[in-house]
């Protein structure tokens, strides 16, 4: 028997499997109708455990792990199908469909925008990239930006979400969980850290350098070479402002070249960051869900059941729907017993047929799902 004969056998078996799976899902739909009529919960963990044990016994020890993985996925897909039938599609799916229908065709160029920091901050550059004619209001803390948007003081807020070398700004993800806001746009800003000091100062005079903690983390090699005191402050632009106001000859800031001009400082050394290609991605948030034409990136946060295979089952759904992942991160949940929050960025057009289907498929597979928004990135 050659490879062609073996593959013919596999093809015949696969056709039989397709027929059986099709018949199984037809029965699953009948079960969903029965459960809805008789008010029976969709998930029956005892029944699933017994089924998996029976299947493992029937195939033997060698095939038991593979059978467990296969049928655990089948059970998850069956539950998602029952959720879709009983609920008529997830409420989140309906919310997204409504936003797609009601969001204006044009993203506004003029609006009141909140950002953290002071004039000259990288957040200001991000605001101007997203809103060329926007009116910017500055706030001291990230929390203030969220509050300004929620309370209607500003329609939008712009915040840093991740850096190409220092990674995610975890505080922003925490605040996205705490507040009811959505991402409606994003942009990338090239970050170039310069050593700024008051006029007449030389590098040898410096005893302390101040900047935002991420800027300090991105310039560790340079800072170690100087061997001076390093102090984190709220913002790179705030650091430049503090140096100017202090008048000190032994104090310098890591900030942008534009801040040197803005605050009358000398640039003692440019591009001191460790990586030459250093970008920060900023997100634009709004109180209401707005999905503008061209949105091709979706951000989600999930808590998964604390059991074996939970993450692989979610990933298999994305694969089945041909949705690529741009980002996957995990962080431990506060006040929990080693539970984790997962962050996903999906690469999918909102007009893709499989995009809305993913929210039906995730029903029953996750403990918590928070949709952060669908948006495009300003290049």
- Active-site residue list: 280, 282
Residue 244's φ and ψ, nearest 5 degrees, are: -60, -45
Give dist(CA 212, CA 142) in Å, integer.
13
Strand order across the 208-212 sheet: 229-233, 208-212, 251-255, 194-197, 266-269
Q: How big is the chain by its Cα radius of gyration, in Å?
A: 26
Instruction: Report the SS3 class of residue 113.
Output: strand
How many Cα atoms sit within 13 Å of 234 on the Cβ side? 15
Instruction: Report the SS3 class of residue 193.
Output: coil
Would you call 18 exposed, middle or buried from its count of C-beta atoms within 10 A (0-12, 13-18, 19+)? exposed
| Residue whose structure tokens are 């109708």 | 33
Q: What would the two tokens of residue 159 be?
A: 């915040």
Instruction: Report the SS3 class of residue 164.
Output: coil
Residues 6+ apart with CB under 8 A from 124: 115, 117, 136, 237
Q: What would the two tokens of residue 31 be?
A: 């079960």
| Residue whose structure tokens are 């913002």 | 235
């Amino acid at each position: 028997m050659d490879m062609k004969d073996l593959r013919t056998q596999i093809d015949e078996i696969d056709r039989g499997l397709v027929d059986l799976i099709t018949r199984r899902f037809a029965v699953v739909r009948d079960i969903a109708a029965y459960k809805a009529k008789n008010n029976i919960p969709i998930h029956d963990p005892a029944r699933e455990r017994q089924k998996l044990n029976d299947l493992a016994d029937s195939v033997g020890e060698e095939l038991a792990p593979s059978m467990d993985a296969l049928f655990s996925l089948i059970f998850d897909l069956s539950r998602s199908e029952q959720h879709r039938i009983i609920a008529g599609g997830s409420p989140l799916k309906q919310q997204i469909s409504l936003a797609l229908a009601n969001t204006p065709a044009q993203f506004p160029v003029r609006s009141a925008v909140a950002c953290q920091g002071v004039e000259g901050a990288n957040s200001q550059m991000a605001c101007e990239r997203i809103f060329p004619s926007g009116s910017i209001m500055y706030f001291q803390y990230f929390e203030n930006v969220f509050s300004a948007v929620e309370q209607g003081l500003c329609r939008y807020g712009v915040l840093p979400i991740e850096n190409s070398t220092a990674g995610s700004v975890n505080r922003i993800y925490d605040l996205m969980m705490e507040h009811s806001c959505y991402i409606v746009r994003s942009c990338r800003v090239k970050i170039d850290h310069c050593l700024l000091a008051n006029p007449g100062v030389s590098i040898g005079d410096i005893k302390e350098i101040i900047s935002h903690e991420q800027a300090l983390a991105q310039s560790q090699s340079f800072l170690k070479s100087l061997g001076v005191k390093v102090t984190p402050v709220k913002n790179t632009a705030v650091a430049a402002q503090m140096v100017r106001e202090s008048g000190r000859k032994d104090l310098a800031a890591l900030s942008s070249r534009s801040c040197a001009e803005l605050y009358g400082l000398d640039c003692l050394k440019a591009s001191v960051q460790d990586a030459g290609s250093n970008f920060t991605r900023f997100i634009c948030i709004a109180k209401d869900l707005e999905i503008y034409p061209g949105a091709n990136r979706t951000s989600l946060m999930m808590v998964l059941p604390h059991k074996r295979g939970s993450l692989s089952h979610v990933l298999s759904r994305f694969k089945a729907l041909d949705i690529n992942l741009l980002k996957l991160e995990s962080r431990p949940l506060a006040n929990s017993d080693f539970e984790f929050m997962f962050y996903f960025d999906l690469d999918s057009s909102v007009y893709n047929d499989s995009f809305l289907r993913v929210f039906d498929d995730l029903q029953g597979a996750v403990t918590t799902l928070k949709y952060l928004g669908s948006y495009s990135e300003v290049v």
